[in-house]
Amino acid sequence: MRSVHFTAESTTDGVVERDFTVGEIPGVLWSPVSGPDRAPLVLLGHGGGTHKRWPAMTGRARLLVTRCGFHVACVDAPGHGDRPRTPHDEREIAALYRAREAGEPEGPIVVRYNAHLADRAVREWRATLDALQELPEIGADGPVGYFGLNMATAIGVPLTAAEPRITAAVFGQHWPDALAETARRITVPVEFALQWDDEHIPREAGLALFDAFASKEKTLHANAGGHKELPRFEAESAVRFFARHLTRQPSA
């Protein structure tokens, strides 16, 4: 088993940010500055074509740290960020750009490529989680959440289905094709975001993926607007979702 190897550290506005590697996987761990007490961990997945320091990732991480005092980890998915692309990656990305320029549907290519990446990414996340839980400030028995939309839903659904340590998840904005069967095995609380007027993902497809989760507690947030117009307040909603589910509440 590989351990976390820290390579850089900085602190900004109450948030400690540490670059790390676990084997060949580069990641960032955001943590509260204060206190040695253990705190819950949220695994943050980035979308296709972006990386672990994409502004949406940094923004969500800071919200989770400052509002909830959680630790937040994001790693580069295979072929993304600081990681090399394989010839297979290059072919799929070229196919996606060709479809986009020709005005053809992106769905079939994205679904198939994301499923390919998920096979590798799920193994990598599990190894990363093993390593992060060796840190004294996280620990092996603390609550763990997963937060990822788009490609990070294609990775997060099989990860959450396979990984009993994840007890709450925020997903969204993906086709059901390669995921619905796996989603039917997920029973932890889920918050799911989709865009009502998504130009890539048909409305019925998004609703079908939400419907597939077996979770007794699941919430759909559908907002008017296109694929890239997810409102900012959905990040705050996800933070409240994790605060509800990863924090031990006084019995109500």
The CB-of-154 to its own copies minimum distance in angstroms stands at 22
Q: What is the dihedral of CA 210, 215, 221, 227, to 10 degrees?
A: -40
**Measured from the CB atom, is 200 or 218 closer to its own copies?**
218
Site string for its own copies, 171-200 (x = CB under 8 A): -------------------------x----
- What b-and-e string marks burial along 150-182, b requiring 16 or more CB atoms within 10 Å of the CB? bbbbbbbbbbbbebebbbbbbbbbbbbbbbbeb
Place of tokens 């602190």: 11
The CB-of-106 to its own copies minimum distance in angstroms stands at 24
* Count of CB atoms situated within 10 Å of the CB of 249: 8
The CB-of-250 to its own copies minimum distance in angstroms stands at 15
The CB-of-140 to its own copies minimum distance in angstroms stands at 30
Site string for its own copies, 218-247 (x = CB under 8 A): xxxxxxx------x-x---x--x---x---
The CB-of-214 to its own copies minimum distance in angstroms stands at 10
CA atoms within a 13 Å half-sphere pointing along the CA-CB vector of 3: 6
Of the candidates 249, 250, 251, 235, the one whose C-alpha atom is nearest the C-alpha of residue 65 is: 235
Helix, strand and coil percent figures for the chain, each rounded to 5 = 40, 20, 40
- Token duo for residue 86: 């394989």
Binding segment (CB under 8 A) for its own copies, from list 17-25, 144-152, 159-167, 212-220: 212-220
* Count of CB atoms situated within 10 Å of the CB of 204: 9
**Measured from the CB atom, is 8 or 252 closer to its own copies?**
252
55 binds its own copies (CB under 8 A): no
**Measured from the CB atom, is 134 or 229 closer to its own copies?**
229
Residues that bind its own copies (CB under 8 A): 196, 207, 210-211, 215-224, 231, 233, 237, 240, 244
